[in-house]
Each structure stands twice: as C-alpha cells, then as structure tokens.
Structure 1
Amino acid sequence: MNYIDLTDHQFTSNGYWDQSLESLNPPTAHELALFDQNGYDLTGLEQRYAEVNCAPAKAHREHRRALKSLWFTQPERVEGAVLNHSLLFERKGYNGEALEQLERWAQANPLVYKIIRMRPKWGLDFSMDYVDRAGNVFEVLHWEYDGFDFEEVETRKQQLESKLVAIDWDDAAASILKLKDQWHHLDFFAQSDWKCNYFGIVKERFKMVIWE
C-alpha cells in the first residue's frame, strides 16, 4: 500500500532577503559561529534576518534551525515502510538594504563575509526506512538533492513527486530486501546509486558549498 501523502508546501522562488535589521552594532563572532557551509542550518545572524523578512526559522534537530517545510507525510507506523523524514529546505542570499548593512558590518567583523558570499540554495530530502518483526532494518530510499538554480530544483521536485507518490513502499521494500546481496555490501554512495537506479530516479546531489 502507499502510505505517504504529498503536502501542498512549495519552495519560495525568491532566493534573497532585502530587509535590514534595526540594530546598528555589528554582529558578534558568536552570532556567526557554527556556520554550515554545505547544508541549511542557520547561524544566529541568519535567524535574525529570517525574522525581519517574515520567514522565521524552524527547529531542526536539537540546537539547529533551518528554513524548512514538510514535503511528504505519513500516518504513524511502527513496522513496514516507515517515513523517517521528507523535507523541503531553503537558504537565502542577501540584496538591497540587507546586503548594504552586511557590507558595512563586514568592515568591523570580516566573519560577516560568510553571509555576504552565500548563494541562494534549495534542497529536497526524502528518507524512507523499513523495519519488521524479524529484525530487518534498512533504508529503502534516502534521496537528497541540492541546487542553486531554483528552476532546476523545482523541476526535480515535480519529477520526484509523481514517482514517489505512486510507489507501493511496502512492496518496494520487500523487493529490495530480496535483493540485499546486491547492495548491502556497498558503501554509502554506491548503495545510493543502486537504489536510485532501482527506482529509476536521478542520482543524489548534496553537500554543495554555498559560497560564491
């Protein structure tokens, strides 16, 4: 059976924030700490810009916060094909008054250039696991795709939606389990390629460095 539902959440095509902060003081090093070069976790400074640009960040695993929304959902299950997570991610660049403000602050705190040099980025993340009462546990499919071109990522999103929503995930998991000798010995990336080929979808692309 197909146990997942497609939400109506969409990406925001505008990749930039332009509203500046009211603060006159340059940000501290602490507000730029733990900068995520490859992913979507926001620094403290980015979170402040998110608030003033009407896009508050959401909690994302312990201390981390990100611009994210649900992509697919599933009623709660304890066995069979179980959706681990399915999310849409965004990371913003800066222009207008926000960029002018950051450029002024960078003269006092060059760490601000980490924010200035960021490119807008969009990401797709789908993770389906399998577990049964015999103790079998594995990822049926964990697919991530990042990009700096909104139209390209949006096209991938639409392509994957039509495929993923049509899959009988319990049947797919059972078939993949029977083929375990073909993929279980492979490393992370080779397993991913094998499963993308199995489902007939484009290979993953993620961890793209966000700076220009």
Structure 2
Amino acid sequence: MGTFLVFCTAQIPNETLSAFVTQSTRAKSAPESPWILQKTPSEDVHGPELTLPLPSPSFTTGFQDASPETLQKFMVENVVDRHDFPDFEGGIEWYQFVVLDSQSAEDKSTCLVYHCARRMPEGSAEDEWDEKKLVSEWKVWRVKFLVAWWLISGLCMNDQALFQVFEDEKDTYTDRDGVLQMPYLEHDEYEYPDLEHRVPWGPAP
C-alpha cells in the first residue's frame, strides 16, 4: 500500500494536524505514517512522511482556498506517472489525496477524501481495459479522521467493492452534517478494540 498526499486549503493549526495523524492511524492495520504533507504548489513533492511530534510553529499553507480542480491539476502534473520522489523510498498514490479545509479547522475531526474513479466507457467489453479510452471522474467524501486511511486505502485497492458497500445504508450513510459515517468500520472490534464511541448503524437518523 502506498502513501497519500495531504493538502491544507485553510490554515490548519498543529493541534488539528496532530489529531488527524493520531486518529487516522488508530486502526490495527493502518501503517504508522501513510501521509505526506504538501505545503505549497511550488515545492517539489518529496518525503519524509508526516509524523509526530510536528515541528513548531504551525506552517503556512500555500494552498489557501485552493479549488478541487487546482488540487487535481497539481496531482496530474506532479504525481501521476511518477515513481521516484526525493527523500522517500516508497510510492505515492496517483489517484487519491486528502484535504484538510476550513471545516477541518473548526470541527477538528473531519477531512475530505478525493478519489479519481477510472473506468472504461459504457458499452465496452467486460474484460477490456485501455488506458487511452478511460473515463475519469473525481469523487469526494467528508469523513472522520478516524476512518480516512481506511476509506482512501480501500478506494485505492478496489473502489468498486467499496461503492457496493456504500449502497447499504446500514453500513454507510451520510449524516445531516454531510459526513459519510462508516459504522461497518467503526464496529470492527479487531481493528478498533478500544474505541469508546462507535457511530450507530444506519440508516441515518
């Protein structure tokens, strides 16, 4: 499993960034450092991974109020089709990234997960796969820090399987605040044995 870029489209204090790192890696299967913080558009994508404790003071983001299209363009121009990055030995995923935005700064518990769904055009043969013909569509979900790594890694490995899970409102649902709740993950006591508060099963109240 690769590593994922994190962008901040608002000034995110170290307290919130630390909460993101801590909560998003609580699952037993989560790697210790699955994130790389991209601070500015002009800075080359590079390691090391985002780890704690964070240097102080809080950094100033170069992506203030950046649109989704701006971030997607950055990924295409700086990450897609690249295999080597300075100060980093692993791979950075091309078609997924995380955003900490103004709502993240306020609630200190949610972020945006972006995923580029790639598929063949309608009418293509079931086993056909041609990179030149692929149709790409960026999708986004607001989720708790707690399940951010689970969601983004699952989308990376098999997005169609996750899309099927999304169809069951008992397992996943969007609450009145626009947050995708994932009780089927939070109620996994192997992955989260010490979780004190688990979101209720759907459908959304």
TM above 0.5, yes or no, is no
Give the helix-richer structure, 1 or 2.
1
In our comparison, the structure showing a higher alpha carbon Rg is 1
Normalised by the size of structure 2, how large is the TM-score?
0.31
